[in-house]
Amino acid sequence: MLVLAIDPGYGRCGVAVVEKAEGKERLVYSDCIETSAKDSFPVRLSEVTTACAELLRAYKPDAVALEKLFMTKNQKTAMRVSEVRGALIDLATRHGVPVFEYTPGEVKSAAAGSGSADKRAVIKMLHALLKIEKEIRHDDEYDAIAIGITHLARVRS
């Protein structure tokens, strides 16, 4: 079971490829796609979907897992992030890959044992669970890894 997990965003978009083999989770790849605020939204969206399309082609995952966000303080940002999510759902469907969506609470619960765990607890658990050898600069990348771990915890490998 190989999953491409994405923490959707148009400024920073965390991506992670996580695998479960012989009962053991493994981090195959992770990155944070970054776009420039100088570019228009369609250009930034296109950069994100183009990068994710390359990951779909390169890793041929069995599933795409995305974070689902209902509520937020900033309605405009929430709308744009939803737009990124939609483009990614459509992208995965075009590649014939099923999409799974998890709420932030589900991700925290699966990655750190509690739906109200803080970011530090999640990161600590990810390091305990996985060999993370690369330097991770942005939380979005950890978020993507956590989403991937959530999906692996939900499916039988």
Q: Which residues bind a second copy (CB under 8 A)?
A: 41-43, 45-46, 49, 69-71, 75-76, 78-80, 82-87, 89-94, 98-99
Closer CB to a second copy, 3 or 27, in the complex? 3
Question: In whole angstroms, how far apart are CA 57 and each of 31, 61, 124, 136, 152?
Answer: 16, 9, 31, 24, 20
110 touches 145 (CB < 8 A): no
DSSP-derived 3-state class of residue 27: strand
Of the listed 7, 19, 31, 143, which one is catalytic? 7
Active-site position among 19, 106, 140, 141: 140
Cα gap 7→94, rounded to integer Å: 19
Active site residue 62: no
- Least Å distance, CB 48 to a second copy, is 9
67 known ligand binder: yes
Of 19, 25, 31, 67, which is the active-site residue?
67
Nearer Cβ to a second copy, position 78 or 153?
Answer: 78
Alpha carbon distances (Å) from 56 to 74, 83, 117:
31, 19, 30
Minimum distance from CB of 99 to a second copy (Å)?
5
Known catalytic membership, residue 140:
yes
89 CB-side CA count, 13 A: 12
Per-residue tokens: 41? 């939204």
Minimum gap (Å) between residue 22 Cβ and a second copy:
30
- The letter for the amino acid at 157 is S
Shortest approach of a second copy to residue 74 CB, angstroms? 11
List the binding residues for Mg(2+): 7, 67, 140
Residue numbers annotated as active site: 7, 67, 140
List the binding residues: 7, 67, 140
